[in-house]
């Protein structure tokens, strides 16, 4: 008796290998052209640029808060960069440029990442690709999942001080009833900024990049809390966390401390970046609830500035995101360890006393204090990335046993290569509230096709890490990746309809549903809902309806004189209708998705936040803010317990012959 098994395999629908550098430069050029066009328009109209899609002054709640409008932020005033700084400079590129102070957004992970990339000049230039400071327009590019997005912003920023006219009489008296004196002291300089700021001088790259990042993820509240390694990947596109717990390395798991120092830590800011954190002491036993260890706060991301060995001692120079934390352990500023002999080598260590947020630890203390180390590799243009994404659904609160093979990926390597294999969830930051009722963790095993023993296995993605990975040398041949997904209910099954009933901002819900659908369109097995995508302006202008309008105007011009006062006429036009049927069921913006990693066509819109691939086309400004209305009958997510998962394979100077995937249930 014969039996048959029906298997649905999804082949990669983009080129099998993509140069990371090449795809970034495509986005770079398009963003640069957009900034140039906007600046030219501003000069022609004698106007500074105002971003209608992220207008801090006229649409503040949309820019500040998430769906529930928690009102956790309340900045009293908005000013332009040129009104805050007398002599603004975007980026100086000095060591002080990396000294950053966290603002009200509680995003120390972002500040730590910014401090990290500030140590590498090229990374800053690659993130902010173009600007016209006189017109107040800035262009940034960020990496999302497998493609780049371009984000255009204006130079309006929130500050901490209210307008003089809003002060009480007593408050005005403190400034001698002098409005100009109040503005000069309270509304000027980096200290007046409400969100993140430079610790020194008048550099503007920190608050502007933070604003662009907030826009790319929906609002400032959405970028509160997170993981430094994820931000670095968003900022560089080349970042990849090393294999470890939750894309981190537990200091308890380091086998050889000398080897880690020599092969890893001393290479900081060369081809890798490091961040660290530890748990806050809960104080239950001690009764102390400060959350501090030797002056350092727990649950805060710290960055590694440099690692250096001097006179037989190993030192790690660290930086904290708040700029105010004081390390009180050995080798803190002014401690007894700093004898005259060691003070002489301070320049060699790369530290100076009193520098905001920077401190020195001995390597042994470094390993003792920090619970986890996040490592991010910086890839150069020799690395090639191939990916395949699939949409996975699981029953809510399933009691089925966890097992490898929820997704089965297969890739073929044509030549030997150092390889990094990554299993990743798509970036849900923008639409986290409507992503679904479950939190997803994942891990995988990698095996040579035809064998029954795995070559290696990844760690489990604790702490809601975005991805897990393994790094190894592979020989030519076919390989199989068995993914295991672990869905943990974190919301009620009816969370979406409950949220709407409880007062979610439906305008923001519409935006998040659109962004979610765009993210899901990465998946080869995704079937789009056209109601979730706004029609691009370029498509509307090219539509038959607009052509009909033009024909009607032409007819009216010819016969208009025949119309008397109070009369009207009926104009009939003939419209040719063409129906096109495509084999692909996956579409975006009413057009089939072109699964390419690099866009060949130059983007012709002007939206301030636009992807660079045809698969991510958005409506140009000002209409890009018009999202479809929320229709609960069509768009309810109460029955949707899904996630998009991708396999990324990074190879060195070697392209994959193919990469495919299938769902374990197929």
Catalytic residues: 108
Q: Return the structure tokens found at 614.
A: 């045809």
Hunting for tokens 């717990």 — which residue is that?
Answer: 245
- Give yes or no for a cis peptide into 20 (omega within 30° of 0): no
DSSP character for 268?
A: B
Helix (H, G, I), strand (E, B) or coil at 456: strand
Q: How many CB atoms lie under 10 A from the CB of residue 482?
A: 20
What are φ and ψ of residue 663, in 5° steps? -80, 145
Write phi, then psi, for 550 (nearest 5 degrees).
-65, -40
Q: Which helix (H) or strand (E) holds 309?
A: strand 302-310
| Alpha carbon distance, N-terminus to C-terminus of the chain | 22
* Rounded Cα–Cα distance for residues 195 and 193 (Å): 6
Put residue 24 in one of left, alpha, beta given phi > 0 → left and psi -120 to 50 → alpha: alpha
DSSP code, position 166: G
Rounded-to-5 percentages of helix, strand, coil across the chain = 30, 25, 45
Cα–Cα distances (Å) from 405 to 408, 483, 665, in that order, read 5, 5, 9
> Do residues 98 and 115 touch, judged by C-beta distance below 8 A?
yes
Output the CA angle 150-234-225, nearest 5 degrees: 115
The alpha carbon dihedral of 268, 269, 271, 274 has a sign of positive
Neighbouring-strand partners of residue 147: 144
Which residues does 536 contact at the CB level (< 8 Å), separation at least 6?
589, 605, 617, 618, 619, 620
Instruction: Find out whether 382 and 461 touch, Cβ atoms under 8 Å.
Output: no
Output the six-digit token pair for 349: 């260590």
d(CA 369, CA 294): 9
Cα three-residue angle 344-346-348, rounded to 5 degrees: 100
Per-residue burial over 263-289, b if 16 or more Cβ lie within 10 Å, else e, is ebbeebbeebbbbbbbebeeeeeeeee
DSSP secondary structure of 600-649 = -SPP----SEEESSGGG--PPTTGGG-PPPP-HHHH--TT--EEEEEEEE
* Structure token pair of residue 263: 């092969």
Which residues 6+ apart lie within 8 Å of 415 measured at CB? 476, 654
């Amino acid at each position: 008796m014969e039996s048959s098994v029906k298997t649905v395999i999804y082949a990669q629908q983009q080129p099998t290998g993509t140069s990371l550098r090449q795809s970034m430069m495509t986005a770079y050029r398009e963003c640069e052209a957009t900034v140039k066009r906007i600046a030219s328009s501003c000069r022609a109209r004698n106007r500074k640029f105002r971003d209608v899609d992220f207008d801090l002054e006229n649409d503040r709640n949309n820019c500040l808060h998430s769906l529930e409008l928690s009102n956790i932020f309340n900045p009293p005033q908005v000013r332009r960069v040129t009104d805050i700084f007398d002599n603004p400079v975007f980026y100086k590129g000095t060591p002080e440029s990396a000294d950053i102070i966290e603002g009200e957004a509680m995003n120390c992970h972002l500040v730590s990442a910014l401090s990290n990339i500030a140590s590498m000049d090229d990374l800053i230039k690659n993130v902010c690709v173009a600007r016209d400071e006189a017109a107040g327009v800035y262009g940034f590019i960020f990496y999302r999942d497998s493609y780049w997005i371009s984000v255009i912003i204006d130079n309006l920023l929130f500050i901490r001080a209210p307008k003089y006219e809003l002060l009480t009489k007593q408050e005005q008296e403190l400034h001698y009833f002098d409005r100009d004196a109040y503005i000069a002291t309270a509304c000027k300089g980096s200290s007046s900024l409400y969100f993140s700021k430079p610790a020194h001088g008048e550099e503007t790259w920190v608050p502007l990049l933070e604003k662009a990042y907030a826009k790319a993820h929906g609002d400032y509240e959405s970028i509160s809390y997170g993981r430094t390694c994820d931000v670095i990947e968003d900022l560089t596109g080349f970042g990849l966390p090393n294999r470890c717990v939750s894309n981190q390395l537990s200091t308890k798991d380091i086998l050889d401390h000398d080897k880690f120092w020599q092969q890893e830590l001393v290479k900081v800011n060369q081809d890798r970046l490091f961040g660290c954190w530890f748990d806050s002491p809960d104080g239950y036993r001690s009764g102390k609830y400060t959350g501090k260890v030797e002056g350092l706060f727990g649950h805060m991301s710290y960055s590694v500035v440099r690692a250096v060995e001097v006179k037989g001692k190993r030192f790690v120079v660290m930086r904290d995101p708040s700029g105010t934390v004081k390390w009180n352990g050995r080798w803190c500023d002014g401690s007894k360890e700093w004898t005259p002999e060691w003070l002489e080598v301070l320049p060699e260590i790369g530290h100076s006393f009193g520098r905001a947020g920077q401190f020195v630890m001995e390597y042994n203390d470094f390993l003792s204090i920090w619970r986890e180390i996040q490592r991010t590799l910086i890839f150069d243009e020799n690395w090639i990335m191939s990916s395949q994404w699939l949409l996975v659904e699981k029953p809510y609160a399933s009691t089925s046993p966890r097992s490898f093979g929820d997704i089965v990926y297969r890739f073929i390597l044509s030549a030997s290569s150092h390889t990094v294999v990554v299993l990743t969830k798509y970036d849900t930051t923008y639409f986290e509230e409507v992503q679904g009722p479950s939190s997803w963790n994942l891990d995988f095993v990698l095996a040579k096709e035809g064998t029954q023993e795995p070559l290696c296995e990844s760690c489990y993605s604790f702490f809601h890490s975005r991805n897990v990975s393994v790094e190894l040398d592979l020989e030519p041949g076919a390989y199989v990746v068995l993914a295991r997904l672990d869905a943990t209910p974190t919301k009620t099954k009816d969370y979406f309809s409950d949220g709407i009933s409880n007062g979610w901002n439906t305008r923001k819900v519409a935006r998040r549903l659109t962004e979610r659908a765009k993210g899901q369109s990465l998946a080869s097995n995704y079937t789009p809902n056209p109601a979730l995508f706004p029609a691009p302006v370029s498509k509307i202008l090219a539509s038959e309806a607009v052509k009909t309008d033009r024909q009607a105007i032409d007819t009216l011009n010819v016969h208009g004189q025949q119309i008397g006062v109070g009369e009207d006429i009926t104009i009939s036009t003939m419209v040719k209708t063409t129906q096109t049927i495509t084999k692909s069921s996956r579409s975006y913006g009413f057009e089939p998705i072109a699964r390419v990693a690099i866009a060949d066509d130059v983007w012709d819109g002007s939206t301030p936040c636009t992807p660079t691939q045809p698969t991510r086309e958005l409506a140009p400004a000002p209409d890009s803010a018009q999202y479809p209305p929320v229709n609960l009958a069509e768009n309810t997510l109460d029955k949707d317990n899904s996630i998009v998962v991708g396999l990324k394979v990074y190879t060195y100077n070697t392209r994959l012959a193919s990469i495919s995937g299938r769902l374990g249930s197929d």
